[in-house]
Structure 1
Amino acid sequence: MSRWCCPDLATELVERGTVPAISASTVRRILAADTIKPWQYQSWIFIRDPDFAVKATPVLDLYARTWQGIALGDDEYVISSDEKTSSQARCRCHPTLAPGAARRMRVNHEYDRGGALAYLAAYDVHRARVFSHCAAKTGIVPFMTLAEQVMAQEPYASAKRVFWIVDNGSSHRGQASIDRLAKRFPNAVMVHTPIHASWLNQVEIYFSIVQRKVVTPNDFTSLDQIEDRLAAFEQRYNATAQPFRWKFTPADLEDLMARIERHEQKEQNPQQPPGCDHQPAAHALAA
């Protein structure tokens, strides 16, 4: 088994002859007191982009209001944008029961599918303002509609530059998307995060808030109801939001790449004596 419960462990200890008898509650107390807790785990994501540091540095610099070593002016803005796909309308087969004394809210497990929509959002990193719209699906047209929604209004329309931070989704991937956005809005500069690194995109934080506060539990009678709820939340959010306290800095990136380099160095040369000079593949990333 990959995970053991306390009764399983108690039985196993007796069958192995480790102890003549032991209760599940005793096993539980022993585990609770121990430093190592193997039943707990934390998921993580490994860097896959060979140019991670090169691509991540401009994004982190923009969060710190610099670009190519020069501080951004008051007429320059940073937008973090992405799509939240497949927001489903799940109409529960029995009405949701409100919470009561000593009873949680009860949401029926069975539901009828009412379709799904894509929620596209653009987040002004330093002004903490969200712009969004819903579409039947993601794509170039819905994304450019979002860009039009933002860039057609002030202060972005007359800004010196508006930086758009995006991931590598098909709606805004590669040089073609950079050229498309710049052709439509000459003051727009698209900046891609590294591959498989959407966690560097601040709008994902906003999407996590939406997931927890708006669409969970999923109990909507129609897509119109979802759209109305998202629009109402956006208005509420913009009235009180403060910029996220982004903590992953260029210095943290440098430290991360150095740790990866040391890890690769250890894997490639497990018997290498301390102080031995070695140049692993990750050295190029750190540089």
Structure 2
Amino acid sequence: MFWRKFTQDKMAMTGLWILILIILSILILPLFYQTSIEQIDFSKSTLTPSLQHPFGTNDLGQDQLARALFGGKISLTVGICAMAVSITIGTIIGAIAGYYGGILDNILMRLTDIFLSLPQLPVLLLVVYLFRDAIKTILGAQTGIFVLVILVIGLLNWMSVARLVRSSFLQLKEREFISAAKSLGANSARIILVHILPNVFSVIVVAATLSIGNAIIVESTLSFLGLGFPPDIPTWGRMLYDAQNYLTSAPYMAIFPGLAIFLTVLSINYIGDGLKDALNPK
């Protein structure tokens, strides 16, 4: 029933096929298109798209298609990992607040309100600016920035998940099957993990899909502002940052990575909408 309902949503299916195509291109095309992403050749600077360079070249003569394929892996990985962080934190806080209620619920929801009141982008920029050098020293330039970006995005995007999970727990904990489980001697941990959480799974799945798209946009914003990954790691956002001075002379430098971000996020959002309808028991 779920799959039949999901396949009836044309926009969700279109988004699914576009996302599958993007992922397969990122994973498979580099096996055949083995142009270096680091080779610098100023004689090929800002070449227009051609058969030899389908996405053209940047100001350093580096192939844009190879860099876009490599950057796609990082952007999608950041999106998935940041989603995992935000979904985990939001589910734990929402489950505890919704199930136990009382003072604990009040404290956790006030904490959620505090995080919701924070201006996300300025806080992101501030945290990355303050801690990027320290974490680079500890974990290295690439790994350090990767971990920092994931944690910062995840820690600032769990609030909506917590509210959704809490509201679902508040409704489900009063149902008859929960009373039956309690009368049979089930403890709180078993009730939360076995009886309530599976019934909240649909809400979590929808929130997870939307979180991936949001995380990709935030990472692209950080990279565009020059506070993301180092210049030698070509994420889609970093490619946009490098293209900002060539928008008139070489607009394709911004068009292709921008189109990749647009299609990926749009397809994920359509998939999320389709999942929301398909998993809705009503």
Higher RCO (C-alpha under 8 Å, 6+ residues apart): 2
TM-score bucket (shorter structure): under 0.3
Q: Which has the higher helix share?
A: 2
User: What is the TM-score of this pair, normalised by structure 1?
Assistant: 0.23
User: What is the TM-score of this pair, normalised by structure 2?
Assistant: 0.23
Q: Which has the higher strand share?
A: 1
